[in-house]
A and B are shown apart, each in its own frame.
Chain A
């Protein structure tokens, strides 16, 4: 058994505690405020959809709470570990999936997994990697380089790499970009399966149908600030003004005022 995963599992808070806890997160670029005083939490099994118009600060938020860029202010806790003071333990519990799969040109599919396993200290990674390769249907491409893979295959490889260390917290930035209908279906299933297994997931997307199908909660951002948060039914109730059968898309338009500004 992988000692690091075991260690992470032992340190994981109980099911009622939030795996992701963000308090007062802000990110400024000189005078420009990308994210302003954002707070939310995600518990095991929950999938939070981060939505907002272009430039609302979704990617900046995801990058800040996954430790990729330093926030200007605020606290982020991942699986009980403070991301700023204890980034190593926090990062061991999370996986970040960018919108564009970032892969190393000269590493084959199998070599990518071997490398990631070593970085995260995953023992006997082959035993974990093979089912992942099969789940994402890239087992046959195991000895190929990223250049030989389609966009969807690359995305699958990036996700397999992220899943290898069995993260309890996952961040997806536009996870369906570039996927075909079959790939979209599989991606949704993978996200739901990980949530059922107790992972806390945050995903950003413009696709309302994805949020409706996959997310348990939604957070609407506009110009870096939170304008609505809660379970999907709560947010719908907040903006439906008593109407029934109001779609999430309509709710989004009402909440954001129908424009980026």
Chain B
């Protein structure tokens, strides 16, 4: 028995030590070193703000003080946190779940499951792993959850507080899955369990609410006058029995996070540890078979990791489904359009020309309705939302819409074996995000343009209005194209900075790499747009006095469009050459 525990401790210790050594060793590579420096600066900045931004007096933390927990329970944030915690706990029981499975890696299953290791030792091993893993999560959470009003304690208090919360949730998840598995073994289906839990919850909440309504008066207008008054009423409501009983277990767990003094923290920590210990004992004593489901879970996890390492990072884990082609591939006989066809198939099925046409018709009718009636408020809302979203589509869209080389890099071998020039592959690949983002932008522009109150702007004649709309409509896809070209250039020139290579992808240095990479790309995008902007301003200033504002603006717009087109043509040619020279095998060796 002792030797088994020794072996497991050795395994965990060696894995952690080797992971740290590997991380340190790879700092010899400049890309990781620079990444580590950038990531280190980022963390330093976060810590710096933690420790230098607030003094003890400001944060309200005292070395001594009241040990009573009443102050915490009276905090509206702690009450909200306890409510949220209870919702999570409830979800564990209501949410449809598969049979109980503990998270083991495939290697752990291969080595530990057939080994002469007692079952409860395996559970101990898994739970200790869980505790260690959650330490890092708690650290991250404690770094990003700050604010004297919300969390009055120190960083250490928040860290331990978060750890207690995460541990309880993690252990409750395992324990509840064990209970659910036992219920399934006894013939109680998931649906039946969900109904019973939901009905019981509703019955308890309704009866406790009814009881509370008899002991606490309904809110008066004074209670609803502002958010502070409402908050005070809610705290009072949940602080009064019997509703307070419902939240009591949750309050015990979350209390350390909201402690104001070390005395209060220690007083709050002891019950929280007790809750964790009870959960630990509960899991350990559960006599439920978890091995088979754990193996399936490990296989799925391994497949997912392999998929991510292959660059197939798809948001949403749902399996892809066969889709109707977006258009007839024989309609335009260019290979570049075939890439558009292929990549559109990988996008959401509503991102189609038909949807755009329907949306266009709806926008035209809706804008006519807005213009004809007295709907100034709606008009304002449409313009505001349209403006915000079009900016979002234009400048954040290229980062999000990645159905181009960024997602097709794992298929480089096949793409490069096609009888196409590099620029043709690059053009074909970037067409999908450009087309999708352009259509969305055009729809937003149409809505904004139709809803614009041109009557109140005397200088905006219909000619100016629609000319400006046309210029924006032409310029936007070009701006998108430039950005997407730069982002794809990043993928080709620095593939190991964009996609996951063969090493372990985590760590401060990888985070730093991402920060550096995105910052660098943003800088390049700004520089690539500068010539067009500078020339446009120059042309406008030079011709304004001679030709008037309208002609000067038109000339400036034409200049912008011409420069962007030239940049795109050169960019495609250059990136095409880089793609032809691109050698993924060399990148993966470094």
Whether the pair A29, B414 counts as a contact (CB closer than 8 A) is no
> Is A214 part of the contact surface with B, judged by Cβ < 8 Å?
no
Query: Distance in Å from the Cβ of A100 to the closest Cβ of chain B?
Result: 9
Whether the pair A115, B342 counts as a contact (CB closer than 8 A) is yes
The residue from A87, A98, A118 contacting B413, defined by CB atoms under 8 A apart:
A98
> Is B346 part of the contact surface with A, judged by Cβ < 8 Å?
yes
Considering the chains assembled together, what is the distance between the CA atoms of A223 and B127 in angstroms? 47
Interface of A, helix, strand, loop or mixed by DSSP: mixed
Q: Give the bracket for the number of chain A residues in contact with chain B.
A: 35 or more
> Is A91 part of the contact surface with B, judged by Cβ < 8 Å?
yes
Residues of the B chain whose Cβ atoms lie less than 8 Å from the Cβ of A178: none
> Is B335 part of the contact surface with A, judged by Cβ < 8 Å?
yes
Whether the pair A67, B417 counts as a contact (CB closer than 8 A) is yes
Q: Which residue of A lies closest to B344 (CB)?
A: A106
Considering the chains assembled together, what is the distance between the CA atoms of A167 and B586 in angstroms? 28
Whether the pair B414, A105 counts as a contact (CB closer than 8 A) is no
Residues of the B chain whose Cβ atoms lie less than 8 Å from the Cβ of A89: 419
Whether the pair A144, B322 counts as a contact (CB closer than 8 A) is yes
Whether the pair B417, A143 counts as a contact (CB closer than 8 A) is no
Considering the chains assembled together, what is the distance between the CA atoms of A66 and B330 in angstroms? 28
Residues of the A chain whose Cβ atoms lie less than 8 Å from the Cβ of B323: 106
Q: Which residue of A lies closest to B335 (CB)?
A: A119
Whether the pair A94, B417 counts as a contact (CB closer than 8 A) is yes
Q: Which residue of A lies closest to B345 (CB)?
A: A106
Q: Which residue of A lies closest to B586 (CB)?
A: A29
> Is B64 part of the contact surface with A, judged by Cβ < 8 Å?
no
Q: Which residue of A lies closest to B319 (CB)?
A: A147
Between A94, A107, A118, the greatest number of chain B beta carbons within 10 A of the residue's beta carbon is seen for: A118
Between B321, B322, B410, the greatest number of chain A beta carbons within 10 A of the residue's beta carbon is seen for: B322
> Is B118 part of the contact surface with A, judged by Cβ < 8 Å?
no
Q: Which residue of A lies closest to B422 (CB)?
A: A87
Whether the pair A88, B420 counts as a contact (CB closer than 8 A) is yes
Whether the pair A60, B322 counts as a contact (CB closer than 8 A) is no
Considering the chains assembled together, what is the distance between the CA atoms of A88 and B421 in angstroms? 7
> Is B412 part of the contact surface with A, judged by Cβ < 8 Å?
yes
Between B335, B413, B420, B586, the greatest number of chain A beta carbons within 10 A of the residue's beta carbon is seen for: B413
Considering the chains assembled together, what is the distance between the CA atoms of A73 and B586 in angstroms? 15
> Is B416 part of the contact surface with A, judged by Cβ < 8 Å?
yes
The residue from B333, B411, B580 contacting A104, defined by CB atoms under 8 A apart:
B411
The residue from B314, B333, B417, B580 contacting A96, defined by CB atoms under 8 A apart:
B417
Q: Which of B308-357 contact A (CB under 8 A)?
A: 312, 314, 319-323, 325, 329-330, 333, 335, 337-338, 341-342, 345-346
Q: Which of A165-179 contact B (CB under 8 A)?
A: none
Whether the pair A91, B418 counts as a contact (CB closer than 8 A) is yes
Whether the pair B320, A105 counts as a contact (CB closer than 8 A) is yes
> Is A231 part of the contact surface with B, judged by Cβ < 8 Å?
no
> Is A114 part of the contact surface with B, judged by Cβ < 8 Å?
yes
Query: Distance in Å from the Cβ of B147 to the closest Cβ of chain A?
Result: 43
Considering the chains assembled together, what is the distance between the CA atoms of A70 and B422 in angstroms? 13
Query: Distance in Å from the Cβ of B261 to the closest Cβ of chain A?
Result: 55
Question: Given A69-B583, A107-B345, A147-B319: A63 and B413 within 8 A (CB)?
Answer: yes
> Is A92 part of the contact surface with B, judged by Cβ < 8 Å?
yes
Whether the pair B411, A115 counts as a contact (CB closer than 8 A) is no
Question: Given A95-B417, A121-B335: A143 and B411 within 8 A (CB)?
Answer: no
Whether the pair B416, A68 counts as a contact (CB closer than 8 A) is yes
The residue from B329, B333, B418, B585 contacting A114, defined by CB atoms under 8 A apart:
B329
Q: Give the bracket for the number of chain B residues in contact with chain A.
A: 35 or more
> Is B2 part of the contact surface with A, judged by Cβ < 8 Å?
no
> Is A111 part of the contact surface with B, judged by Cβ < 8 Å?
yes
What 0/1 readout, one digit per residue, does chain B (415-443) give for beta carbons within 8 Å of chain A? 01111110000000000000000000000
Whether the pair B329, A115 counts as a contact (CB closer than 8 A) is yes
Whether the pair B417, A91 counts as a contact (CB closer than 8 A) is yes
Query: Distance in Å from the Cβ of B11 to the closest Cβ of chain A?
Result: 29
Whether the pair A68, B417 counts as a contact (CB closer than 8 A) is yes
> Is B581 part of the contact surface with A, judged by Cβ < 8 Å?
yes
Question: Given A60-B585, A104-B346: A145 and B321 within 8 A (CB)?
Answer: yes
Query: Distance in Å from the Cβ of B378 to the closest Cβ of chain A?
Result: 38
Question: Given A89-B419, A121-B335: A69 and B345 within 8 A (CB)?
Answer: no
Between A63, A91, A106, A121, the greatest number of chain B beta carbons within 10 A of the residue's beta carbon is seen for: A106
The residue from B337, B346, B419 contacting A88, defined by CB atoms under 8 A apart:
B419
Whether the pair A119, B322 counts as a contact (CB closer than 8 A) is no
Considering the chains assembled together, what is the distance between the CA atoms of A29 and B587 in angstroms? 10
The residue from B319, B333, B411, B421 contacting A118, defined by CB atoms under 8 A apart:
B333
Considering the chains assembled together, what is the distance between the CA atoms of A120 and B319 in angstroms? 29
Considering the chains assembled together, what is the distance between the CA atoms of A22 and B329 in angstroms? 37
Whether the pair B417, A115 counts as a contact (CB closer than 8 A) is no
Residues of the A chain whose Cβ atoms lie less than 8 Å from the Cβ of B28: none
> Is A254 part of the contact surface with B, judged by Cβ < 8 Å?
no
Whether the pair B333, A102 counts as a contact (CB closer than 8 A) is no
Q: Which residue of B lies closest to A165 (CB)?
A: B419
Whether the pair A91, B346 counts as a contact (CB closer than 8 A) is no
Considering the chains assembled together, what is the distance between the CA atoms of A69 and B320 in angstroms? 31
The residue from A29, A95, A147 contacting B320, defined by CB atoms under 8 A apart:
A147
Question: Given A29-B586, A60-B585, A104-B346: A145 and B320 within 8 A (CB)?
Answer: yes
Query: Distance in Å from the Cβ of B297 to the closest Cβ of chain A?
Result: 19
> Is B375 part of the contact surface with A, judged by Cβ < 8 Å?
no
Question: Given A118-B333, A118-B335: A106 and B417 within 8 A (CB)?
Answer: no
Whether the pair A118, B329 counts as a contact (CB closer than 8 A) is yes
> Is B214 part of the contact surface with A, judged by Cβ < 8 Å?
no
Q: Which of B281-313 contact A (CB under 8 A)?
A: 312
> Is A205 part of the contact surface with B, judged by Cβ < 8 Å?
no
> Is A155 part of the contact surface with B, judged by Cβ < 8 Å?
no
Whether the pair A91, B419 counts as a contact (CB closer than 8 A) is yes
Residues of the A chain whose Cβ atoms lie less than 8 Å from the Cβ of B421: 88
Residues of the A chain whose Cβ atoms lie less than 8 Å from the Cβ of B342: 104, 107, 111, 115
The residue from A66, A118, A145 contacting B417, defined by CB atoms under 8 A apart:
A66
> Is B589 part of the contact surface with A, judged by Cβ < 8 Å?
yes
Q: Which residue of A lies closest to B323 (CB)?
A: A106
Q: Which residue of B lies closest to A144 (CB)?
A: B322
> Is A108 part of the contact surface with B, judged by Cβ < 8 Å?
yes
Starting from the known contacts A90-B419, A115-B342, 14 additional A-B residue pairs (CB-CB under 8 Å) come to: A29-B585, A29-B586, A67-B416, A68-B413, A69-B583, A69-B584, A70-B583, A96-B414, A105-B312, A105-B346, A115-B338, A115-B341, A121-B333, A147-B319
7 nearest CB pairs, A to B: A118-B338, A91-B419, A106-B346, A92-B419, A96-B417, A68-B416, A69-B583
6 contacts between A and B (CB under 8 A): A68-B412, A68-B417, A98-B413, A98-B414, A106-B320, A114-B329
| Chain A residues packing against B (C-beta within 8 Å) | 29, 32, 60, 63, 66-70, 87-92, 94-96, 98, 102, 104-108, 111, 114-115, 118-121, 143-145, 147
